[in-house]
Amino acid sequence: MTANWMDWGSAIANHLWQSTLFAAAAALLTLTFRKNHARVRYAIWLAASIKFLIPFSLFIAIGNAIDFGKQSASIAQPAIAFVQDISRPFDSAADADAIPAAAGPDLPFLIRNVAYAVWICGCLAVLMIYLAKVRSIKALVRKAFPLTCGRAFEALQRLEQTMGRRPPIKLAVSGSSMEPGVFGIFSPVLILPSGMPERLSDSELEAVFAHEVAHIRRRDNLFSALHMLIEALFWFHPMVWWIGAKLIRERELACDEEVLRMGKDPQAYAEGILKVCEYYLESPPACVAGVTGADMKERIQNIMTHRVGSKLSIAKRFILATTVVVALVIPIVVGLFKAPLSQAQFRTEPKPSFEVVSVKIAENCGNTRQGVNLKIPLGPSYQLGGRYFTCSQLKWIIMDAYQLDPFMQPAGGPGWIDDALFQIEAKAAGNPGKDEMRLMVQSLLEDRFKLKMHRESRKVPVYLLTTAKGGPKLQPAKDAQGNLITSLPSAEELKKKSEEVQKAGTFSTGKLSLPGTCSILMKPSGNELTGRAVNMSRLAEVLFSLVGKRKVIDKTGITGLYDINLQWNPDPSQSGLTGFVRPTVIPMESPNETIGASIFSAIQEQLGLKLESDKSPVDIFIIDSIEKPSEN
């Protein structure tokens, strides 16, 4: 659950960052078009508003879905990688840079819950305010008296004939003091305050009506309702409210320009607006397109000087077209180039499959230690005769099947891929090798579990394993005769030695003597890591399992094999191992001993090494979809 909250949080942060940058670019663009028609600037601000509803990742997904056939995955794409990095500066994996995260996962999770609760409350409050205004206007419209004759009705009919408006606009008179305005999106109604036609001359009345009809032709009420929804969703973002004010300003200026282009008398139009302001002080809400919005002084000056914006020049049309391409086409192109790279791991020739497959959900895997039945996973077993068996969490099965690096374990997917144990038995025809059988397991996962994944490269927090001040305190590995161990035995020798160790019973003590292996003892009073003839790369892999979901990169420059014995206090915020690297984990009874160091200080004090926080690009596999299969 915590991972899902983090993913949502990082996605929202990325979207807000992108939308804010887009709105800032729109503001700069409107300065370029400040002498052109107001409808151009309105369209730019409207695009900035709608961007808050549409993340760039949607356009990247569109490009991802386009497939022109087989494409080379070896194309150099530094620009594409840069766009992908700049599009998501916030990463769910980048949750902490301190060493260690002593606060534990509870505090961030609580903060996220509170933030989401505040956001939902804010959304509901803004929506309720807007809905209350809409309901009051609806009540006013229901009480309004429809006009089907008279001077105002005839003026509106003349205007509709001139503008070619069909179907006719409904006209009604209200007893309220609200200025004239258009209510409704698909069946608009022009509401007039009582007594208005008598106070305005014919030319003034037609000019005011022309302004309202311009609102209807431009679908201003529809776009206003859309931005009201955006204000409710992003009520906490000041840029959204600023864009709303700009939209109102530019739409009123655009309607003024439309009235003047129709040839209406500027003086009559200005006097009509001023009389409306004089007699009717109540302004309509944003969901009603009125006549007195925006800066009235600026509007009257523009009307009286007949100031209408100029048409777009060829150069400015090119700027506008280029901006549209940058905003829309480039993310699609990013997705188009990203698709062959992210899916290269999985888009291969048809894979072989098993003849017989059995998939079951297991309560435990039948492991027993000292007479206790434990829920300890069993690694995959590839046997002669094409037999495959595993009993493990699905994420580990996936990683083995696709031979994923321990630091590329899949992200996303439901929680049961980490929790539920799946017992899988399968039989292939003939006697395929291990690599071919892994392809069969991939086919099984994609067929029975409907697994779909893609790969992404993200710059995430990592730990660098370096030497501490004073130098390393490592013990070179030696054999029974006291000779230095300079190389690891072969796989066959390790297998033989493993059988000897298990027969001798040393396995149950946790003190494994196999070269190149590590064991972890988990005890209530103190944990212990024992390594036999391990190099620094192997130590970094095992430390990954102990310090959280961060890759540990060996930067010590130390070569050779060493015996490791590390003891530290257990961290109550870590419920267990988090990595895919599975050293032997042996629960022990609590002895009467106290170890007074955390794992970070223990590494420095006992091994002469240290973990430094840094960031590095890491390949991460994202689970797009997966389903729990039916048992058989």
- Is 128's pLDDT higher than 90? yes
Between 475 and 580, the more confident residue is 475
Give the tens place of pLDDT for each residue, 204-239: 888 888 888 888 888 888 999 999 999 999 999 999
Bigger pLDDT: 81 or 614?
A: 614
- Does domain 124-227+264-294 fall into CATH 3.30.2010.10? yes
Residue 274: pLDDT band (50, 70, 90) is confident
* Total residues belonging to the chain: 632
The yes-or-no verdict on residue 498 having pLDDT over 80 is no
pLDDT of amino acid 619:
76
Q: What is the pLDDT of residues 441-483, one digit of tens each?
A: 999 999 999 999 888 777 778 899 999 998 999 999 888 788 8
- CATH 3.30.2010.10 location in the chain: 124-227+264-294
Q: Which of 31-45, 159-173, 218-232, 509-523 has the lowest mean pLDDT?
A: 509-523
| Radius of gyration of the chain, Cα coordinates, nearest whole angstrom | 35
Residue 356 has pLDDT above 80, yes or no: yes
| pTM score | 0.54
Residue pair 289/182 in contact (Cβ under 8 Å)? The answer is yes
User: How many Cα atoms within 13 Å fall on the side-chain side of residue 88?
Assistant: 24
Q: How confident is the model at residue 98 (pLDDT cuts 50, 70, 90)?
A: very low
Residue 581 predicted with pLDDT over 90: no
Distance CA 211, CA 111 (A): 49
Are 49 and 230 contacting, i.e. CB atoms less than 8 angstroms apart? Answer: yes
Which has more confidence, 323 or 537? 537
What proportion of the chain, given as a percentage, has pLDDT over 90? Answer: 17
Cβ-based neighbours of 477, under 8 Å, separated by 6 or more: 484, 485, 515, 532, 533, 534, 560, 561, 562, 563
The kind and range of the H/E element at 189 are strand 189-193
| Contact (CB, 8 A) for 292 and 273 | yes
